[in-house]
Amino acid sequence: MWSAALDLRLPDDVANLLSANTGIAHNQLAAMTLSHDLPRQLLLPLRNDGRQWASTWLQFCCRCLAEDAQPYFRRRWRLATRVSCTEHGCRLRDRCPSCHGRIAVFDQGELVPQHYCVACGYDLRRAPIPYLSPETRTLDRCIDNICSVEAIAHAPSGPVFVRRLLGMPSVGGYYSTMILTSLSTAARAYCADRLSRPDEWLVDDATDDEKDCKERRLRRLIPPTSDHRAWIELLANALGRRRGRPVASEGNEPDIKLPDPLGAYARMNPGPGRREVQELIGT
């Protein structure tokens, strides 16, 4: 059960043992840990409460594992904000599809590759791909792109942004009293879907002229995708808007709804091919 802690801080005696037995230098081993490049508040904890909607720790993309010469779990799959794969666009999983148990790679009696379920031996590379809406994929990709420790630390809205990410389940539905890191991948995907779908927001009864005007104003407000600080502020405001919270900083446009910047982001930064994912879902 201390595997998760090892990834955050590798004790000297364990590092010595690993280095002596593998011939890998200490600095290389340190670079393989989660170290400092992911926001700790957003990491999925290692839990075992058995509830279907609860988080379990590791997530995986079955297609990534299937394509790896030596299958491995990506660092960024530890983030609660991640529900899809950057490479393939499909939804991640956090449970074995055969026995529905969590991925307990620390709980094995013998050394076997980690893409086999410890409990039942199922090959996780064969797991079916769950559906994820294109809007949810865009939200996931957009957050992942701007969500580095460095960007959050340097953005004035960084702490508000992290709090609002953790509060994403409060948009309503089944999980409103939970924080993001306590939920399963499926439950988090549900929350992200509720937030990112345009039809979840109030119907816009503006005239065509007003809509044109809004569109032009919106275009001026959308920063380039490389400006992470501006995107953190934009998303922090958009995530807070629904429940009528104050905006993250003075002088920012208050009436941006989340689907607006997401639509702009999808146009500026198209993700992995949707057709390919659709084809796989259809099979």
Give the footprint of Zn ion on this chain (CB under 5 A).
61, 63-64, 85, 87-88, 96, 98-99, 117, 119-120, 122
Pick 27 or 283: Cβ nearer Zn ion: 283
Pick 218 or 281: Cβ nearer Zn ion: 281
Pick 78 or 228: Cβ nearer Zn ion: 78
- Shortest distance, position 115 Cβ to Zn ion, whole Å: 11
Our measurement of the distance from residue 50's CA atom to the centroid of its chain's CA atoms, rounded to an integer in Å, reads 22
Distance CA 258, CA 274 (A): 21
Euclidean distance between the first and the last CA atom of the chain, given in angstroms as a whole number:
37
- Shortest distance, position 275 Cβ to Zn ion, whole Å: 16
Those residues with Cβ within 8 angstroms of residue 12's Cβ, 6 or more apart along the chain or in another chain: none
- Shortest distance, position 102 Cβ to Zn ion, whole Å: 9
- Shortest distance, position 207 Cβ to Zn ion, whole Å: 44
Pick 96 or 160: Cβ nearer Zn ion: 96
SS3 label, residue 91:
strand
The backbone torsions φ and ψ at residue 43, rounded to the nearest 5 degrees and listed phi first, read -75, 140
Distance CA 199, CA 241 (A): 16
Pick 72 or 122: Cβ nearer Zn ion: 122
- Shortest distance, position 105 Cβ to Zn ion, whole Å: 12
Pick 247 or 277: Cβ nearer Zn ion: 277
- Shortest distance, position 83 Cβ to Zn ion, whole Å: 12
Number of C-beta neighbours around residue 105 at 10 A: 17
Here the tokens at position 249 are 């900083």
Distance CA 36, CA 8 (A): 8
Pick 99 or 213: Cβ nearer Zn ion: 99
Distance CA 68, CA 263 (A): 32
Distance CA 238, CA 157 (A): 12
- Shortest distance, position 124 Cβ to Zn ion, whole Å: 8
Give the CA angle between residues 218, 223, 229 to the nearest 5°.
Answer: 130
The answer to whether 136 and 192 are in contact (CB under 8 A) is yes
